[in-house]
A and B are shown apart, each in its own frame.
Chain A
């Protein structure tokens, strides 16, 4: 399949570990922050979002934390599985007409 990115920051973990992927965003006025997963040869897939008036939101095996003071967003994946291997992007919505993506992080999960 297509390679999403060749020189992205990479996080390597063992299967079963917890993973934490970080992101810095730029626009204080963004309403929502979203995490996407992109597998090779595919488009970004929605994982979880968080509204700007929240600081934590949990999904199935994933948690997003938002720190507006330092404009920082993180994605925690519990019990990481080989199928979680992909490139992860954060995105923000400075106005609801577009998404602004951050630089991605490649997650490699070893069995």
Chain B
């Protein structure tokens, strides 16, 4: 059983550009969350998708948007990239329900560098 898979693993973009990151959830998981992890810090919640809708959003600007597909996979889009967007972007999948977050599985992340 493949766990959470993310692509690409590394990415270098220029300020002002746009980027799309992809995530395939663990089999049986229908909820996908995205986190941003800056160097030396814990992951910060960006948003969560369930039933193809954004269900909750953290304190991130509208430049960060996402999408969930019928097969539960998800994309994270970031527009007008800033140097400060450089980080490890983590996708976590979980089953729906009260204990969903305690059963969250994380992918290995996409390392985004903005130059």
Binding site for B on A (CB under 8 A): 2-8, 31-32, 34, 36, 41-46, 49, 89, 91, 93, 95-104
Contacts and interface: CB of A to CB of B under 8 A. Distances in A.
Contacts of A104: 41-42
A99 B100 contact: no
A43 B109 contact: yes
Contacts of B37: 4
A57 to B, nearest CB: 12
Nearest to A103: B42
Contacts of B21: none
7 contacts: A5-B40, A6-B40, A32-B99, A43-B107, A45-B106, A93-B101, A102-B42
B38 to A, nearest CB: 9
Given A93-B102, A104-B42, 19 more contacts: A2-B111, A4-B40, A6-B39, A6-B40, A8-B40, A31-B98, A43-B107, A44-B43, A46-B104, A46-B105, A95-B56, A96-B98, A97-B55, A98-B33, A98-B45, A99-B104, A100-B45, A101-B42, A101-B44
B106 A43 contact: yes
A101 B102 contact: no
B48 A98 contact: yes
A103 B41 contact: yes
A41 B110 CA distance: 10
Contacts of A5: 39-41
Nearest to B6: A43
Interface in B48-96: 48, 55-56, 58, 88, 90, 92
B39 A99 contact: no
Nearest to A101: B42
Nearest to B58: A98
Given A31-B98, A96-B97, A3 B33 contact: no
